[in-house]
Amino acid sequence: MAIDPRPLGQRLMEDNWDLHRQAEHDTLPRHLVQGTIPRETYVELLGQFWLVARVLDGAIEAKRSQVPVLALVADEQLQTPYLEADLEHWGANTAAIAPKPGAAALIAEIGRCEREEPIRLFGLHYVREGANNGNRYVAKALRRAWGAKDMAGFSYLDPYGERQRPLWESFKARLDEQALSEDEKREIVAGARSMFEHIIAIQRDFKLPEPEAAGTR
């Protein structure tokens, strides 16, 4: 097997760039960035991510002692508490939240990975953790659009505040220091690619009109 000399963080970025761009430029994320997503749709989206986060966080916690790279996932990175706080702020009834097809498929994939390929859980997590870099800008756009005075209701999008960039750089550096085999690196990259595909599917479960071009409203 040929050895890829690139650091794993570089591979995760470069080998998933096509899906990364697709996930960023679909209809729903463009509404998020422009602050034009209906509030009820945003809360419904949080509910889908909450269903996913509960399963992924639980799988990571269950496999940390068996898969060393999962020890890099700090408790602070687990997303369930942020989503629950935001859903409570927006008055959502979590007991009534049911998975749409995209979330259901991702939940099934997480379960499969936990049983059969637990190292892929890190790739799934890496994508959602990296998304925090752009999500900070989404939080600012929504706060501005909705006249929010503080971060209540937006902790999922901006969990770390001004610590975001240094925490992300430290996370990537520690990942690149891990003694991983080529097979393990390939599985992590594959897990990340799967996460992007499932996130795109979750976004497309929400049928929104194309947003107006920025600057035309």
Side chain identity at residue 186, one-letter code: R
Report which DSSP code applies to 216. Answer: -
The pLDDT of residue 75 is 97
**What distance in Å separates the CA atoms of residue 117 and residue 125, rounded to the nearest whole number?**
14
3-state secondary structure of 153: coil
Do 57 and 129 contact (CB within 8 A), yes or no? no
What average pLDDT does the segment 3-9 reach?
Answer: 93
What H or E segment, with its residue span, contains residue 167?
helix 164-176
What average pLDDT does the segment 53-65 reach?
Answer: 98
pLDDT tens per residue, range 126-147: 999 999 999 999 999 999 999 9
Categorize the per-residue pLDDT at 217 as very low, low, confident or very high, splitting at 50, 70 and 90.
very low
Q: Could you tell me what percentage of the chain is helix, strand and coil, using 3-state DSSP and rounding each to the nearest 5?
A: 70, 0, 30
Domain ranges of the chain: 9-204
- pTM confidence score: 0.94
- The encoded tokens of residue 16 equal 């998933």
> What's the fold here for domain 9-204?
Heme Oxygenase; Chain A (1.20.910)
Which residues contact residue 144 at a Cβ distance below 8 angstroms, ignoring those fewer than 6 apart? 35
What is the 3-class SS of 48-100, one letter each residue? Answer: HHHHHHHHHHHHHHHHCCCCHHHHHCCHHHCCHHHHHHHHHHCCCCHHHCCCC
